[in-house]
């Protein structure tokens, strides 16, 4: 029996300690989540996955 492959993701952001920069980075991260296409759908070649 084979074990499932676990994907490892790098950190999306490393905090700077500056509250304003960290808040702005968090907002940019949320923006990326909103504009990123759904990876599973794209990987499986589903046409117009966000329609």
Ordered mean pLDDT values, 10 residues apiece, the chain (51 residues): 71 90 92 78 77 69
What pLDDT, on the 0 to 100 scale, is given for residue 46?
A: 80
Closest CA to 36 of 22, 48, 50: 50
Host H or E run for residue 24: helix 19-35
What pLDDT, on the 0 to 100 scale, is given for residue 33?
A: 81
This prediction has a pTM of 0.51
Q: Which two tokens stand for residue 45?
A: 């070649």
């Amino acid at each position: 029996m084979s074990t499932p492959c676990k994907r490892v993701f790098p950190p999306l952001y490393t905090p700077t300690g500056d509250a304003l920069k960290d808040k702005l980075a968090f907002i940019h991260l949320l923006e990326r989540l909103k504009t990123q296409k759904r990876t599973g759908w794209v990987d499986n070649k589903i046409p117009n996955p966000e329609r």
